[in-house]
Every structure is written in structure tokens, then in C-alpha cells.
Amino acid sequence: MRNLNLLKSNDAMAAFKIDPQPLLSAEQVNKWVSDNTAGMIPKILEKIGDEEVILVSALYFSGKFQNAFDPRQTVAADFSSFNGKTPCQMMYAKRHMGYARTSTAQVVELEYADSDIVARLILPLEDGQAAFEHSLSEENLDAKLRPIEIALQFPKFEVESSLVLNDILKYIGVRQIFEKVDYDKTLGSALQVDQVLQKSIVKVDEEGTVAASATAIRMVRMGARLQQLERVICNKPFWFILESSNKIAFVVAVSKFQ
């Protein structure tokens, strides 16, 4: 089972005790998130109700690909979203990359220079929103990749997403965080995870990736085939995942272009 470390960050994690002034507390959390994402995510919480504790983590990443895409190979192309086709700038590379073909998706890994962070692309084999959602599965997250030569078409993109991760986490087998837990040693009361919210911004071009992510966990009181040249053409919705040491930093759904 994937070891999904929701609280992993670049030495940036905090637990905020909520004071009697909800707006001030939300501002405190948002300022911390903004400071730890280089201003890319200025706000993650609109307000705080009766929750007693918010656990928040933040990640900022800027990295160059181990092997950059050649800008001369980038061409105009169409990206097929759920609502029709939109234009995009499609990058291209033919080289050895980590690759797996599972029962539901093609999975590709892109390495970054001087970093243990890697990008994992999950491209569903079938079209449609249901197939896309189901492709974010334990099988694909844990797929064993092997280096083979592939021809990858991969769009430049800038995506901003806001996801409530409760259902996704349960779907891939991460259920223990929603069990009732007792934090009385540090917080003075027993709490239960109510909602896991993640905001992410990812910018990808030929050179590499700039990304920021913030995750807020809202906690409430208890009781409340043969080797060949594989072609991976990311011209339809796919998942872009940054992970480090087999732990997911954050997930972005690339499903449309503005």
C-alpha cells in the first residue's frame, strides 16, 4: 500500500490552535501558507467554524528536468478535455524513461536534476471522466516502472486545482487518518479528521517544473508486453504527481486548459 504522507513538506508544517476569533485564525493559517509557498498559494481557508485544530503543510518546489525537452520539438496541438478540444503547446521527447502499462493506464516517470523528487504521469487507457477518476488507483500509484525507450508527447501547462481529498484517500486505501484519534497530550482533547483539503499550482515547460501545494486537515471534536517503443500521448486528461522517496507530495488533475 502506498505510504501517503500528507504532512510531508520541506520542513514546513504547523498545528494551529484556533482562538475565539475565527477570521483572525484563518488569516494566520493563510499567511503561513503564503509564506511557505513563495506567495503562490495566498489562501487555503475561507473561514474556520467550530473546529479546534487545523493541521497544515506546505510545499514549494522548483526543479529542472534531468533531461529537458527540446523547445524546437514543441508544436501546437489539441488537448481533448471532457468538454471538447482546446489548443495547447505539446512537447516531445524520445528517450529512456521509467514506464509501466497497467490494466487501466500508462504510467511515466520524469526525473529532476539534483533532486529526489520525481514526476509521475498517469494517463488513462480509456477516455471519459469515470476512467480518468478510476485511474488514480493504488495499482497505478504503486506501479513498478522499468526504463525503456518511449516517445512521449506531453503538454506545457499551468494548472491550479483545489481538491477535497477525503474520497480519493479512501479510494486508494488511506483510511486510517479518518479514524477517531486522541491528541490530548498535545492539544488537550480528542479530535477526528473531518476534511482534507489540498490546493496546488503547477507550471511545467520544457525546462522543468515550478509547483506549490498546501494541505489543510480540518479536525473536529469526536462526536461532532514485449519491449518496444511505447508512445505516451498526453492529449487528454491525466494525473501529474510529484513524489519523493515513494511518498506523494501532491496530486494535480490536468483535465482542461484555460
Per-residue confidence band for 73, with pLDDT thresholds at 50, 70 and 90 = very high
CATH number where 177 lies: 3.30.497.10
Q: Are residues 87 and 186 in the same domain?
A: no
d(CA 61, CA 38): 10
Residues 113 and 75 in one domain: yes
Same domain, 195 and 220: no
Question: Do both 82 and 142 map to the same domain?
Answer: yes
pLDDT above 90 for 69: yes
Residue-number span of the structural domain to which 189 is assigned: 22-62+159-201
- How large a percentage of the chain has pLDDT more than 90? 40
What does the pLDDT read at residue 225? 37
Domain co-membership, 110 together with 225? yes
User: Tens digits of per-residue pLDDT, 240-256?
Assistant: 888 877 777 778 888 87
Most confident of 42-51, 93-102, 129-138, 213-222: 93-102
Please state which of the ranges 83-87, 89-93, 120-124 shows the lowest mean pLDDT: 83-87
More confident residue, 119 or 55: 119
Separation of alpha carbons 151 and 7, rounded Å: 35
pLDDT number for residue 184: 46
Cell 508544517 -> residue: 13
Strands (E), 34-103: 53-64, 75-81, 84-101
Whether residues 218 and 142 fall in one domain? yes
Q: Write down the pLDDT at residue 170.
A: 62
pLDDT at 96: 95
Whether the pLDDT of residue 210 is over 60: the answer is: yes
* Model pLDDT for residues 3-53, shown as the tens digit of each residue: 333 333 333 444 444 444 443 578 888 998 999 999 999 998 887 765 556
User: Can you tell me the mean pLDDT for 208-217?
Assistant: 88
From 71-85, 150-164, 189-203, the region with the lowest mean pLDDT: 189-203
On whether both 148 and 95 belong to a single domain, the answer is yes
pLDDT of residue 190: 63
- By percentage, how much of the chain surpasses pLDDT 70? 72
163 vs 237, residue with greater confidence: 237
The whole-chain average pLDDT of the chain stands at 79
Task: Specify the number of domains making up the chain.
Answer: 2
pLDDT of residue 173: 61
The residues, any chain, with a CB within 8 Å of residue 213's CB and separated by 6 or more, are: 37, 41, 58, 59, 198, 199, 200, 201, 242, 249, 250
* Residue 120: inside a domain: yes
Identify whether residues 143 and 31 lie together within a single domain. Answer: no
114-143 pLDDT, tens digit each: 888 899 999 999 999 999 989 988 899 999
Decide if 42 is inside a domain: yes
Q: Which of 253, 230, 1 is nearest to 101 (CA)?
A: 230
Same domain, residue pair 105 and 121: yes
CB 54 within 8 A of CB 22: no
Does one domain contain both 68 and 57?
no
Same domain, 43 and 68: no
